[in-house]
Chains A and B, each alone.
Chain A
Amino acid sequence: MAMVDVRNVTKVYRKDAEELVVLNGLSLQVNEGDYAALMGPSGSGKSTLLNLIAGIDKPTSGDVVVAGTNVAQLGETQLAAFRSHNVGFIFQFYNLIPVLSATENVELPLLLTHLSKAQRRERALTALKVVGLADRASHYPRQLSGGQEQRVAIARAIVTDPKVLVADEPTGDLDAKSATEILDLLGTLNQDFKKTIVMVTHDPRAAERAKTQHHLEKGVLKD
């Protein structure tokens, strides 16, 4: 069963009279429990495709069905609800809130739920435990290394138990050792926690960890 089903999607950016076609009739399926890597040169449309899957952008035409919901047909508020329930987003540059501690950063998506403060705190600590950072719970982003920050970002992405994890070059800003740790963690989330993962990467070693690899070029899937 396809967890992500992208059907004949086109994405066109318009600036004044100029049109830039980023995705051109692209179709892609990622099955439940899959770990897919999207690769391709800069400007090939990888991140745009990832944004569409994550529901933070909408296609110009075509359908993007994620976890049974056609993202292309949702309004702004419905999209927000969709993201909070179904998608965990991992950024290249972590994007943690600097004034919040690791626990508070992880707790952030849970503010949208009806959980009590204690329940939110418990779940955030559990997520931090999963990524191996329980001992850094009270640390602030500036007190963490890049690898640790990315692990906190992953904990934030999984704390709501989403069906799909999307990662935009999660190791792009890390040294080799930290990158390996992050890839190991993503592998664990896929293997042990059965998370469907779609990852954009330039790094062939990262792509090798994925179960399937897809190559984009000029907005079209090559294989």
Chain B
Amino acid sequence: MKYLPYLLKHLRRNWFRTTLTVLAMAMCIFLFCTLQSVLAQINALLDSTSAKRLVVRNSVSIVFDVPLAYGARIQSVPGVERVAISNWFGGSLPAKKEGKSDPGSESSTTDWSNFFNNLAVEMEPFLAMYPEYQVPPDQYRALMADQRGCVIGRKLANKFGWKIGDTFFLESFIPVHRKADGPFEFVVRAIFDVDPVKYSATDQNMMLFHQKYLYEATGRTLQAGTYYVEIKNPDQAGQVSAAIDKLFENSDAQTRTETEKAFAAGFIAMAGNLALLLNGIGVAVAFTILLVVANTMSIAVRERRKEIGVLKTLGFTSGQVMGLVVAESLLIGLIGGALGIAGSRTIMFLLTHAPGLKDMLAGIGLSELPLRPMVAAIGFGVAIVLGFAAGFVPALSAYRARITDMLRTV
């Protein structure tokens, strides 16, 4: 500790260079923490899926439907507990929020900034296979009794201030999910809660409504987007999936059945190999910063050759001098790391709270982007390793240098 003031004074010697180096380090750790937090949150979302649930979709693409007649046949497959139709509605609030006043007048303009995930489902079997969603019995009964009724997550309710009995309008951007007389009207009949410990990553910024409502309002021509299937034994997921797909292999609409986790991962993978991309960016940035800091430390040591000679003359051992150089570099790493972590935490807070952005993120299940302690700890560790590695080579040259050579430096 007694060397700390000495180190700080040296860092202040060329404050502009030090500031830039610290900022470079901070940027590196900021990117690392932010990217890893996004990855961690996505992984948590994937982990929140159940191994007992399968998703059946059209084998060509998720954008193609599956015939409604498939439901009963899937139910007949051995090992299947229950089946629920699901259509991703893609609905947004009309520009005039909630649209309570006049649903028709503003229907052509949607408010994308307030987008949230909404699904038309066969309510009874769907909720039965999702024990995560805790709905009070009286609200459940009211929900089942009202075709326009919907159930929303607690966070979504809090976000818009919606209470039981409130109505709002949604209009889909998908043509077959629109009806001629304007947006769909929904009544909040239930609000679900989630066990924060058991199902911490479950999305609560979402809404479920009756598939029958969508089906009837759109002229009874709508097919199923996907089928959610609950199986009796998670260990039989492979066999059951294969059996379902075998049922339809000679039909016009062949199916692809996979676990809910694989389905969700495939959805995310539509953006490419996200983990590889984000980790690749992180490694590239870290390596670049290593070179930047190492270069800075090399310059700093070269500029101070004479001083290093003086320190050794005064009785500092080569090891102590090396330690001072490494400590200076470590200090840059520590300050940069702390700034980077603080910056990451701040930016993720802003992203998940900024109007517009927060809703976009919520739409893909990232309503929260917490900086996990483990990510912050690893980020700090990376900063320390980078600081040490960057200072080591210049420190080694200071260690090896002879006093008389150092003192002769002009």
Contacts and interface: CB of A to CB of B under 8 A. Distances in A.
A54 interface: yes
A57 B5 CA distance: 30
Nearest to B12: A99
B313 A54 contact: yes
A130 interface: no
A111 B317 contact: no
Interface size class of B (residues with CB under 8 A): 20 to 34
Interface in B264-323: 306-307, 309-320
Given A97-B310, A100-B6, A51 B404 contact: yes
Secondary structure at chain B's binding surface: helix, strand, loop or mixed? Answer: helix
A80 B404 contact: no
Contacts of B198: none
B314 A76 contact: no
Contacts of B160: none
Contact of B315 (A51, A95, A109): A109
Nearest to A157: B314
A52 B3 CA distance: 29
B9 interface: yes
A83 B9 contact: no
Nearest to B318: A76
A223 B41 CA distance: 83
Contact of A85 (B6, B13, B315): B315
Contacts of A57: 402-404
A99 B315 contact: no
A117 interface: yes
A108 interface: yes
A57 B406 CA distance: 12
B10 interface: yes
A99 B313 contact: no
Given A51-B403, A51-B404, A97-B310, 4 more contacts: A57-B403, A57-B404, A80-B320, A91-B310
Interface of A: 51, 54, 56-57, 76-77, 80-81, 83-85, 89, 91, 95, 97-100, 104, 108-109, 111-112, 117, 156, 160
